[in-house]
Amino acid sequence: MLMSPPRSHLPLYGLQVFECAARHLSFTLAADELCVSQGAVSKQIAQLEERLGHLLFVRGTRCLSLTPAAERLLPFIGEGLARMGEGVSALQALPHEQAISIKVPSCASRWLLRRLQAFDGEAVEVRGSHSHGIDFSRESFDLAIVYQATQARYPGSQPLFRERLTPVCTPAFAAKHRLFERSLEELPLLPLLHASADRRDWRNWFAAFINTPWQPQGGQLFDTLDLAMNAALQGFGLSLGDPTIVAEELESGALVAPFAPVLSTDHEYALLARPDSQRSGVAQIYHWLLGSQPSG
């Protein structure tokens, strides 16, 4: 019983060149149609003849003619190429499947991207935003991670992790300023990085852990926690960071947390799905992210 060769072993390009040359009965015209040289066509035909064990063309001085083997092969190749063309056209007629879009506050984007590295499913488009909320009636996202007060949650939101803040910096910065030898009361004298103009994160942290009132004394200002943490990663100063968001940097040693106290705030990061979404991939990512919640 004769067995057909595996599809991966079929010389598809050589068969395409053969069909074109047989249709034109000319290597020159086939080369023009395929945008290759006449020599390339001749080489492909020679390799195909060697592969098949049959001559396909009778090469005359001024013309080509098909051999009996080629005449038997050509209808099958022509039909096969036509069917493949129909398949490609049918695929191109389908509407393109859009990636599932997720809106995320820029400060939490690194947490989300690390979770998605292990996700094996639908294509996902992540869009970072300075906005901490979502309005599905005006924004065309499939999912959103929001930053919300625990006492004023979005209806239907599912908490991912509670916000916690602790001072973080590079090991070199900690060594330069001898941070592991300093007391909390000395901390306000250090170069501090602020995630907002009102300096509320540091203000709340100092109010929780030092006895003397804190008076702001300069420090670089940023408009997001993510920018402040990135500046800390560059060694520019001491920033408050969320251990959940910068867990990988802390584990690798790119950042250190030289002071023990961690402030649990009254805010959290939570997940929301578009209420009217009918896409199965949205539910898959939604439940997968909820299953990726950190402990603690």
261: domain CATH number is: 3.40.190.290
The 10s digit of each residue's pLDDT in 10-63 is 788 888 889 988 888 888 888 888 888 888 888 989 999 898 899 999 887 777
Q: Is residue 4 in a domain?
A: no
Kindly state whether residues 130 and 245 are assigned to the same domain: yes
Kindly state whether residues 72 and 164 are assigned to the same domain: no
Q: Is residue 1 in a domain?
A: no
Kindly state whether residues 165 and 220 are assigned to the same domain: yes
Q: What is the Cα–Cα distance from 258 to 250, expressed in whole angstroms?
A: 11
Kindly state whether residues 35 and 64 are assigned to the same domain: yes
Nearest to 59 by CA among 29, 30, 28, 26: 26
DSSP for the chain reads ---PPPGGGS-HHHHHHHHHHHHHT-HHHHHHHHTS-HHHHHHHHHHHHHHHTS--EEE-SS-EEE-HHHHHHHHHHHHHHHHHHHHHHHHHHSPPPPPEEEEEEGGGHHHHHHHHTT--SS-EEEEEES-----TTT---SEEEEEEETTSPPTT-EEEEEEEEEEEB-HHHHHHTTGGG--GGGGGGS-EEESSTT-HHHHHHHHHH-SSPP-----EE-SSHHHHHHHHHTTS-EEEE-TTTTHHHHHHTSSB--S---EEEEEEEEEEE-TT---HHHHHHHHHHHTTPPP-
Which residue, 43, 63, 93, sits at the end of a domain? 93
- For the chain, what is the domain count? 2
The 10s digit of each residue's pLDDT in 202-258 is 888 988 998 877 776 777 888 788 888 888 989 999 999 999 999 999 999 999 999
Sign of CA dihedral 8, 9, 14, 18: negative
Kindly state whether residues 155 and 245 are assigned to the same domain: yes
Kindly state whether residues 81 and 123 are assigned to the same domain: no
Q: Is residue 3 in a domain?
A: no
What's the pTM value of the predicted model, to 2 decimals?
Answer: 0.64
Tokens of 76: 């099958």
* pLDDT at residue 2 in the model: 41
Q: Is residue 273 in a domain?
A: yes
Kindly state whether residues 68 and 50 are assigned to the same domain: yes
37: domain CATH number is: 1.10.10.10
* Cβ burial, residue 11 (10 Å; 0-12/13-18/19+): middle
Which residue, 62, 93, 124, sits at the end of a domain? 93
The 10s digit of each residue's pLDDT in 103-160 is 998 888 888 888 888 787 777 888 888 878 888 888 888 999 999 999 989 998 999 9
* Residue 149 to residues 114, 146, 162, 199, Cα–Cα distance (Å): 24, 10, 10, 18
Residues 172-186: what's their mean pLDDT? Answer: 90
* pLDDT at residue 9 in the model: 65
With beta carbons less than 8 A apart as the criterion, state whether 38 and 27 touch: yes
Q: What is the Cα–Cα distance from 40 to 57, expressed in whole angstroms?
A: 16
Task: Give residue 67's domain range.
Answer: 9-93
Nearest to 202 by CA among 149, 259, 150: 259
Kindly state whether residues 34 and 179 are assigned to the same domain: no
Q: What is the Cα–Cα distance from 6 to 146, expressed in whole angstroms?
A: 52
Q: What is the Cα–Cα distance from 106 to 131, expressed in whole angstroms?
A: 8
Which residue, 44, 76, 93, sits at the end of a domain? 93
Q: Is residue 264 in a domain?
A: yes
Residues 189-213: what's their mean pLDDT? Answer: 86
Kindly state whether residues 21 and 143 are assigned to the same domain: no
CA trace torsion 229, 236, 205, 150 (10° rounding): -10
Kindly state whether residues 158 and 116 are assigned to the same domain: yes
* Exposure on the CB side of residue 248, measured as CA atoms within 13 A: 7
Q: Is residue 202 in a domain?
A: yes
Q: What is the Cα–Cα distance from 184 to 43, expressed in whole angstroms?
A: 78
Q: Is residue 48 in a domain?
A: yes
* Cβ burial, residue 162 (10 Å; 0-12/13-18/19+): middle
* pLDDT at residue 164 in the model: 94
Kindly state whether residues 72 and 137 are assigned to the same domain: no
Q: Is residue 286 in a domain?
A: yes
Kindly state whether residues 147 and 59 are assigned to the same domain: no
